[in-house]
Structures are given as structure tokens and as C-alpha cells.
Amino acid sequence: MKQFYGHIAALFVVCIWGTTFVSSKVLLNAGLMPADIFLFRFVLAYLCMLCLCHKRLWAKSVVDELTLVGLGIMGGSLYFLTENMALIYSTTANVSILVSTTPLLTALLLAIFYKSERMTRKQVFGSLVAFVGVILVVLNGQLVLHLNPKGDALALGASLTWAFYSLFMKRIMGRYNADFITRKVFAYGILTIIPYYFLVHPLNTDTAIWSQPLVIGNLIFLGLIASTGGYLLWNWVMQKLGAVKSTNYIYFQSLITMIAGAVILNERITFMAICGALILIIGMIRALKK
């Protein structure tokens, strides 16, 4: 029964994360920089988690604390920086497809370190089928990809950072509660983004932006729902389903983004995307079977 609730929770989180692209797009159009969006949403999420979980300040050992630092970098600052920078140099389709390799890279990485997390041949086949479905959904009728080595490398880097996030979570998730881990992820995500503002781009947000209800509403959604609720629930899901099973649900993110784009931004859904969605679902059913 716990695994059943884990599957439901994983689907719920992916549905939330699949709509964050639309929310982030609204904030980018309002004048916020990608790194600024990350900082504001993580600060809001950290303050929320601090109210919920404040009894334990540090991990049980220095090694565990360093692992939490790694989680903050891989699942926070470095992941969002590489993904958002990839969008600057490459197309959205390229980035979406390459970031969707996360479940495959996660399965490969965990198989190297944990024998218990190795996928069967049928699961590997199902995962590959689901990835093909993702490609068709993302392309949505466009048959040409414009390759950009720099942008595509950054997108693959984002995929790899989340794979390492899953690896670090596998090591530490049985030792601490999900709320403590989530709070530390936000804290170290914030701390490790600060050098970016000194070395690359200073934080200089126009104060007039804060008078726009649309900006405030989307930041609250990203900070409280997508970050606080999303990360907290996702870390709990990983404890219940394991790193590989839970990460496979990321394949659904592109499908949710497509639906959200159609509903909110009036984007067109082609026959290719519908076929891709069906293939994705079939592959996921196969990948999630033992």
C-alpha cells in the first residue's frame, strides 16, 4: 500500500513540475533572470521548511553534511543553472529531450554503485521506449533538431546533475527524515548560487517587478508548491519507491508540459505528440514493472 501511495505521489509531483516551465516563462517575460527565479523560489521554500522543520540543525556526521551539500548543488544551484543556460544556447526541444535522459543516466549511475537498484532487461527496454515517446511528444510535429554543442552539453550536464542527486539521496535517505533533507537542499542550494552573482551576473532585480500580482503569484507557486511541496514529496517518494523507479516518472514531465502549454498558452498538439504520449505510457508501464 505504501508503494501505491508512492506512485500516486510521484505522478502528482511530476504534474506540478511539468507546469513550472509555463510559470518560469511568465517570470522571464516579466524581466527576471533565470538565476534570480531560482534564488527567490528557493529562499521562499527554505523559509517555509524552516517553519516546518527546525529542531535538527546539522547531520549526524561530517560526511553526511557534505552529502547534503552535494544534494543542494546537484538538485539546486548547478541543476537550475545548467538547464537555464542550456536554453540560452540551444532550442527548447533539444534541452527537453536531453534533460529527459535523466532516468537513463540515473539507472546507469546507480547500477554502478548499488546492485539492488539495477534494472532488468524488460525495465531497460521499457525505459528506452518511454524515452522514444518523450522525443515524439517534445518534437510535436517538428522533425528537425538544430544541434548546438555548447547548449546541448549544458542540457546533458543538467541531466547528469539530477542523476547524482538521486545517487546522493540513495546514500542518505534512510538516515534522515524527508523534511530535514529537503530543508538542507534548499539551504545549500541558496549558499552555492551566491558565487554566481559575484563572478557572472550580479543580482539586480527591478523593484517595479514586485508590484505585479502575476509575478508574486508565480513566485509563490514556484516557491511553496513546486519547491517546498514538490521536493518534500519527491524525497519521500524516493524513500518509498527507490531512486530508479521514482526517477522514471520524470518521463511524464514533458507530457504534462505539453498539456499545460496547450491549455494555458494555446500551443498546438499534433498527431505525432499524441502517438508519443501513448508510446511513453506503454514504456512507463513496462519500466515500472519488477
Region of 206 on the Ramachandran plot (φ > 0 left; ψ -120 to 50 alpha; else beta): beta
In the chain, % helix, strand, coil (3-state, to 5) comes to 80, 0, 20
What is the number of domains present in the chain? 1
Report the SS3 class of residue 152: helix
Instruction: Identify which of 90, 95, 77, 4 has the alpha carbon closest to the alpha carbon of residue 41.
Output: 77
In which domain, by residue range, is 77 found?
2-288
Closest listed residue to residue 287, CA positions, set 168, 131, 138: 131
Q: What is the pTM of this model?
A: 0.86
- pLDDT by position in tens, the chain (length 290): 667 888 899 999 988 988 887 788 788 888 888 888 899 999 999 999 999 888 888 999 999 999 999 999 999 999 988 887 887 777 666 677 778 888 888 888 888 888 777 777 888 888 888 888 888 877 766 666 566 788 888 888 998 999 999 999 999 988 899 999 999 999 999 999 999 999 888 887 777 888 889 999 999 999 999 999 999 999 999 988 888 888 888 888 878 877 877 777 677 777 887 888 888 888 877 777 65
CA atoms within 13 A on the CB side of 190: 16
